[in-house]
């Protein structure tokens, strides 16, 4: 676990490496599989979610992103109700399956292809659910 302190001036300090880092550095750490915990340097409040969302937001603004407008809208619209809880659970499950496939933790190559197709179908179903909820 990499511990990062976020200061009022928005600077990030990696306590593991004893060095200041950028959002791009933090994004690279996450992409490399590191778990991060980001906290306010003064209060100790957990800022992990908001900082990771900031990374996504800046990436979407700069280069577009993997999440469609429909998916982002649904996440916002249903964030605080039971539907949002169900959507988050489905999304977490799909991501966990995808990570398992990417990490090679599936049984063998034959099942990998089938599992990849299963994840694709689950993601298509999730996208269809978002579209129906939007209507």
Number of Cβ within a 10 Å radius of residue 4: 23
Number of Cβ within a 10 Å radius of residue 37: 13
Q: Are 12 and 38 in contact, with CB atoms under 8 Å apart?
A: yes
For residue range 100-134, list pLDDT tens digits in order: 777 775 555 555 566 667 777 777 777 676 666 65
* Average pLDDT, integer, range 18-41: 93
Give residue 112's pLDDT.
56
How is residue 63 written in tokens?
Answer: 């280069």
For residue range 44-101, list pLDDT tens digits in order: 999 999 999 889 888 877 777 777 778 778 778 877 777 777 777 878 888 888 877 7
CA separation, residue 77 to residues 7, 17, 40, 85, 99 (Å):
31, 39, 28, 12, 27
Q: Where are the domains of the chain?
A: 2-63, 69-134
Give residue 85's pLDDT.
77
Q: What's the DSSP call for residue 10?
A: S
């Amino acid at each position: 676990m990499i511990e990062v302190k976020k200061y009022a001036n928005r600077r990030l300090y990696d306590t593991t490496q004893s060095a200041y880092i950028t959002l791009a550095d933090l994004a690279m750490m996450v992409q490399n599989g590191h778990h991060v915990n980001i906290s306010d340097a003064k209060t100790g409040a957990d800022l992990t979610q908001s900082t990771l969302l900031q990374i996504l937001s800046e990436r979407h603004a700069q280069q577009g992103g993997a999440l469609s407008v429909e998916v982002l809208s649904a996440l916002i619209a249903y964030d605080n109700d039971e539907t949002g809880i169900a959507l988050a659970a489905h999304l977490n499950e799909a991501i966990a399956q995808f990570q398992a496939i990417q990490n090679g933790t599936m049984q063998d190559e034959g099942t990998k292809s089938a599992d990849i197709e299963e994840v694709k179908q689950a993601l298509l179903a999730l996208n269809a659910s978002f579209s129906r909820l939007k209507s």
